[in-house]
Each structure stands twice: as structure tokens, then as C-alpha cells.
């Protein structure tokens, strides 16, 4: 049998082309994920700067102003310092749990961003159970905090981890019931479908007007899930010396610090999506994405404007969260649990029953 050298060359070229196609496909899958992570990181840096500037204004003092113009590089400088600091390990602690805890907390929150529609068709994964994926994934973070507290071999850290778990369980149930009410109103658990269901009547089609009780309950539960004042009992500097973070230093402490802002940002985004119409311009009878979708340039412009609208609504709730931190005093642990189990849970359950009854009567 005689083999033509040109055929061998064609086969090798085809094999190289197939390998290149596989590598290109893998890289193309990773590019949106990397862009999303980069955007989230920049957003967290902006939130850290905003919190310092707003808190300085509330307390009538000078905020960050020396690191970069208006102090905008202060958060980046702090992150660089934490990155190069030494990581100390407790001599009698469980090193595996101690090291795994921060990573689990960060990864669980980052996975929530995969189902968030930032703009028209700008979503990493449009799942049929998108909102419940957020709740399921976010519930993993307290497990990482409990692992961190237990692995630190410190009673204050362990108490902080236990408080984080108890607080998460207490406020996840009302939050889930509020999300379930929104899913019943929208006839879908997809985040994209929930936003589109609010676009029919513009501003008056927001779920905020149809679910005002659920909006208030979810807003309070989100603050508790993010461990923001007045719900920062897992840290409580006066009682627990920052709780589960006590034995951490360097980049591991930085991961916990970033996780709190990741969680705050994702909670504000979900409030925007569930109750404020997401990316919609809120003008009735105007389909904003299709208004500019005449060509590719118009589609890009529409996506950019929609993204800006989503972020504007999100940062409005971030402003509320930041001002709340510097306005209200910390609750006691019994007050926190009573608020979750004796007030928010019955209210959210009653809201769900009312929503279900109205949906059944409308059939």
C-alpha cells in the first residue's frame, strides 16, 4: 500500500485545526466568566470606596482622599497590603478547615452571579430555577464560616461561626418565601422571565407595588444574610473580637472582607431584578431593547443603557445598606432571632398565602 505524503500532510493539518478549534472553544467559554469576575471585582472596589466616603459624610469627618484622586485607589491599596502580608496559622487548629473556609465562602457567592441578567440577553446562565439557585448556593457560605470558626481553635471564632449559621437559617426561610411569591406572580423561577414579566406596564408593572410586604421582608432578610448592621452578630467586635475572622490574617482575611461585599452586591442585584424591573427603562408600552435593535451598533447601545439602568437601581439599594450601617445600633442575639422567627417568618408566610390565593382566583 502506497501512502501519498500530501494525504499525510492534509491529515496532520486537519488534526492541528481540530485541536485549535477545541482550544478556541474552551477559551471562548472562559472569556465571559473572566469578564464577569473582573466586573464584579471592580464593582466591589467601587462599593468599598463609596462606603468609606458615605460613612465619612454621615459622621462629618474626612474620608479617603490621599490614595489616588478623591481616594478612589484606597481599596486597591488595602487589597495589595493584605496580599503581601504573612498568613498565620493557628498551631492547634484544624488547618484544612481553616484554609478551606474562606474559599468556600467566596466561591458560593460568586456562583450566584451566573444567573443574574445584567442587561437584555446579558446573562451567563438563564436557568429555569435561577432565583432558587441563588438561595441554594448562598446557603453554603455559612458552612464555610462555621468551618473557619471551628478550625481556628478559638472559642470566640467558634461562637461567631455558630452565630452566622443560626442567623442564616433564621432569615433564609422568610427570604425564600418572598422569592417563591415572586415566582408565583411571574409564573417562572427564571430571573430573565421575572424581569420580562414586569416590563408590560413599565414603572407600574414592578413587583414592588404588587408585593410591598414581601419587598420589605426581603430587604431586611438580605441585610441579615449579608451580616450588615444591625445584623452583624457573627462579627460583633465588642463581644467576639470579630468572631470567625479573629485568627485570620493576610489574604485569607481579605477573602472574608471581599465576600461580605460580594454578598451585598448580589443581594442588591436580586432586589433590583425581583422588585424593580431589572434592566427595564420603566416607560410603558416601549420595548426598550427592540427600540435600538436595528443593527449591531444599536444592539450594543441598548445593552449598555440597560446595564447602566440595572447598576443605577442596584447602587441605590447599596446606598440604603451603607447608610443603615451607620445609623442603627446592633441588635442582641435574642432580638435578632425573635425578629426572624416571630415576625418575618409569619409575615412572609401570610404574604405567600395571599399571593397563592390571588393567583388561584385569577384562573
pLDDT band at 297 (very low <50, low <70, confident <90, very high): low
- Asked if pLDDT for residue 146 goes beyond 90, the answer is no
Average pLDDT over residues 92-107: 87
For 34, other C-beta atoms within 10 Å of its C-beta total: 10
Lowest-confidence region among 111-115, 218-222, 239-243: 239-243
Burial environment of residue 30 by CB neighbours within 10 A (0 to 12, 13 to 18, 19 or more): exposed
Query: Mean of the pLDDT values across residues 142-152?
Result: 87
Give the model's pLDDT for residue 7. Answer: 54
Across 69-73, 231-235, 338-342, 350-354, least confident range? 231-235
CA-to-CA distance for 316 and 322, rounded, in angstroms?
Answer: 10
Kindly report, residue by residue over 186-209, the tens digit of the pLDDT.
888 889 889 888 887 778 888 999
Pick 234 or 252 by higher pLDDT.
Answer: 252
| Residue 11 clears pLDDT 60, i.e. is over it | no
Residues in the chain: 363
Name the β-bridge partners of 119. Answer: 122
Residue 335 has pLDDT above 80, yes or no: yes
Torsion of CA 332, 337, 339, 344, to 10 degrees: 160
pLDDT mean across residues, the chain: 82
Instruction: Please check whether residue 236 is in contact with residue 64, taking contact to mean a CB–CB distance below 8 angstroms.
Output: no
| Residue whose C-alpha is closest to residue 277's, from 190, 205, 220, 361 | 205
Lowest mean pLDDT among 67-76, 253-262, 308-317: 67-76
pTM for this model (two decimals): 0.86
pLDDT of residue 271: 92
3-class SS of residue 158 = helix
SS3 of 285-343: the string is CCCHHHHCCCCHHHHHHHHHHHHHHHHHHHHHHHHHHHHHHCCCCCCCHHHHHHHHHHH
Q: What is the pLDDT of residue 66?
A: 83
pLDDT tens across 226-239, in order? 888 788 877 776 66
Q: What are the cell numbers at 135?
A: 438561595
pLDDT value at residue 314: 92
Supply the pLDDT for residue 282: 67
Residue 349 has pLDDT above 90, yes or no: yes
Compute the distance between CA of residue 242 and CA of residue 344 in angstroms, rounded to an integer.
27
pLDDT for residue 128 = 87
| Percent of the chain whose pLDDT exceeds 90 | 13
Write out the E strands in the chain: none
The three cell numbers locating residue 268: 442588591
All cell numbers assigned to 166:
443560626
For range 87-112, the mean pLDDT = 86
Mean pLDDT of 249-257: 86
**84 phi/psi in degrees, rounded to 5:** -95, 0
Tell me the mean pLDDT in the region 159-163: 85
The DSSP H or E segment spanning 260 is helix 250-275
Indicate the pLDDT class of residue 90, thresholds 50, 70 and 90: confident
Q: What is the pLDDT of residue 16?
A: 57
Which of 275, 276, 149, 173 has the alpha carbon at shortest distance from 224? 173
Amino acid at each position: 500500500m502506497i501512502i501519498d505524503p500530501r494525504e499525510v500532510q492534509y491529515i496532520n493539518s486537519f488534526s492541528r485545526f481540530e485541536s485549535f478549534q477545541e482550544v478556541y472553544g474552551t477559551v471562548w467559554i472562559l472569556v465571559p466568566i473572566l469578564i464577569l469576575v473582573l466586573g464584579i471585582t471592580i464593582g466591589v472596589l467601587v462599593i468599598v470606596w463609596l462606603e468609606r466616603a458615605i460613612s465619612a459624610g454621615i459622621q462629618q469627618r474626612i474620608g479617603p482622599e490621599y490614595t489616588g484622586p478623591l481616594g478612589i485607589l484606597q481599596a486597591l491599596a488595602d487589597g495589595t497590603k493584605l496580599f503581601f502580608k504573612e498568613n498565620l496559622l493557628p498551631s492547634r487548629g484544624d488547618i484544612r478547615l481553616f484554609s478551606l473556609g474562606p474559599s468556600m465562602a467566596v466561591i458560593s457567592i460568586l456562583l450566584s452571579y451566573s444567573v443574574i441578567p445584567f442587561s437584555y440577553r446579558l446573562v451567563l446562565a438563564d436557568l429555569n430555577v435561577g432565583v432558587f439557585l441563588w438561595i441554594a448556593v448562598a446557603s453554603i457560605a455559612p458552612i464555610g464560616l462555621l468551618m473557619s470558626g471551628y478550625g481556628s481553635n478559638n472559642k470566640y471564632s467558634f461562637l461567631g461561626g455558630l452565630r452566622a449559621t443560626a442567623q442564616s437559617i433564621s432569615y433564609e426561610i422568610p427570604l425564600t418565601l418572598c422569592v417563591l411569591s415572586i415566582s408565583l406572580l411571574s409564573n417562572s423561577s427564571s430571573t430573565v422571565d421575572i424581569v420580562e414579566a414586569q416590563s408590560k406596564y413599565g414603572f407600574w408593572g414592578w413587583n414592588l407595588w404588587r408585593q410591598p410586604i414581601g419587598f420589605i421582608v426581603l430587604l431586611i432578610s438580605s441585610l441579615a444574610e449579608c451580616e450588615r448592621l444591625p445584623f452583624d452578630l457573627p462579627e460583633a467586635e465588642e463581644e467576639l473580637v470579630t468572631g470567625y475572622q479573629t485568627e485570620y490574617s493576610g489574604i485569607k482575611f481579605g477573602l472574608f472582607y471581599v465576600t461580605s461585599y460580594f454578598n451585598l452586591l448580589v443581594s442588591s442585584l436580586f432586589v433590583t431584578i425581583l422588585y424593580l424591573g431589572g434592566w427595564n427603562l420603566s416607560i410603558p408600552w416601549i420595548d426598550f431593547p427592540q427600540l435600538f435593535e436595528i443593527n449591531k451598533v444599536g444592539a450594543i447601545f441598548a445593552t449598555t443603557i440597560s446595564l447602566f439602568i440595572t447598576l443605577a437601581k442596584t447602587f441605590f439599594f447599596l446606598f440604603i445598606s451603607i447608610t443603615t450601617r451607620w445609623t442603627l445600633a446592633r441588635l442582641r442575639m435574642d432580638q435578632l432571632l425573635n425578629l426572624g422567627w416571630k415576625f418575618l417568618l409569619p409575615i412572609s408566610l401570610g404574604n405567600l398565602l395571599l399571593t397563592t390565593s390571588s393567583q388561584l382566583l385569577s384562573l
